[in-house]
Amino acid sequence: MKVLANDGIANSGVITLEKAGFEVDLTTVAQDQLVTYINNNEISVLLVRSATKVRKDIIDNCSSLKIIGRGGVGMDNIDVDYAKSKGLSVINTPAASSHSVAELVFAHLFGMARFLHDSNRNMPLEGDSKFKQFKKSYAKGIELKGKTLGLIGFGRIGQATAKVALGLGMNIVAFDPFLDAANIELEFFDHQTLFFSINTITKEEVLQQSDFISLHVPAQNEYVISTKEFELMKNSAFVVNAARGGVIDEVALIKAIEDGQILGGALDVFENEPTPEIQLLMNPSLSLTPHIGAATGEAQDRIGTELASQIIEILS
């Protein structure tokens, strides 16, 4: 059987699949040519990440397909229910990238707390002529220890983010409409383990109490954070979105920063990918990355291995 990893797959996944007798095709096929390519090559498994969309046209016109796999958590680029109604298996890897996303959130938080996102823009340009000026500008940093991290969405990634925060000595508040409480297991290098029980509170309480807010929710039909939510936040707050583009109202975010309702924000995902709005890209109060939450070697190895294991189990 043939597996088309259209958006790529880690070598760990390729090796696992090939050992099980599968042929792995790493060709990147253009979206409008996928149906023809899948049919001509009798592809049984189509693996995607965020770039390739698997809609009804592919599902209806590719009779050889048996499995659609998403290397990651969200499956908003796949017509999941329709695929299942047509007898296809749809798989993903919800836990494999959790820690990588959590670490990226904290890369942004550390950077914003010490103005690294802005300093790294300005120092290469004028660090020699404005050193003392920059030193004064960036001298009002804050520590994360002792601050409150608010989590909107407290599933796997939200809980992984909480673990990092607990290790730093932060306070955690969380909102999740589907969860009343979570037990967080924090493992240390010497195999000691501590458990923390965290009860969820209302979204409004999280917004009001938090020094830093991080979103960990699936794609939504409406904004999770917009004007009224920014109005509830501390004017010293930072907000991070490493979840899905469209869960934060980007226009309202810019206005909230300009009006002093919040201090800044970080975005790894955008409403318009791969062409984010220029107002976001040029704003010195925003820390930005190009949708790289799961882009670590460790996470991709876990994703590849997990996808391969599921495919082998289903088709064996």
Q: Tell me: do 161 and 20 sit in the same domain.
A: no
pLDDT at 118 > cutoff 90: yes
The pLDDT assigned to 208 comes to: 98
- Specify whether 260 is located in the same domain as 154: yes
207 shares a domain with 90: no
Q: What residue numbers bound the domain in which 49 lies?
A: 2-94+297-315
In the structure encoding, which two tokens stand for residue 109, read together?
């938080």
State the average pLDDT over residues 15-44: 98
Active-site residue 70, yes or no? no
Task: Provide the pLDDT for residue 314.
Answer: 97
CB atoms within 10 A of CB 81: 9
- Please compute the mean of the pLDDT values over residues 184-190 and round it to a whole number: 95
Is the pLDDT at 50 greater than 90, yes or no? no
What pLDDT does residue 217 have? Answer: 96
Give the mean pLDDT of 280-304. Answer: 96
291 catalytic? Reply is yes
Chain-centre distance of CA 237, in angstroms?
20
Please tell me whether residues 35 and 148 are part of one structural domain: no
148 & 86 share domain: no
Q: What does the pLDDT read at residue 98?
A: 96
Active-site option among 18, 185, 187, 273: 273
**Residues sharing a CB contact under 8 Å with residue 228, sequence separation 6 or more, in sequence order:** none
Q: What is the average per-residue pLDDT within 214-234?
A: 96
Question: Quick one: 201 and 54 in the same domain?
Answer: no
Average of per-residue pLDDT across 271-288: 97
Are 103 and 89 in the same domain? no
CATH number for 32: 3.40.50.720
Compute the average pLDDT of residues 254-281.
Answer: 97
* Whether residue 89 is found in the same domain as residue 10: yes
173-199 average pLDDT score:
96
Same domain, 108 and 244: yes
Q: Are residues 85 and 175 in the same domain?
A: no
How many domains does one find in the chain? 2
State whether 90 and 107 are in the same domain: no
Q: Is 156 a catalytic residue?
A: no
* Residue 208 sits in the same domain as residue 71: no
The catalytically annotated residue of 99, 291, 302, 306 is 291
Which of the following is catalytic: 244, 250, 302, 306?
244
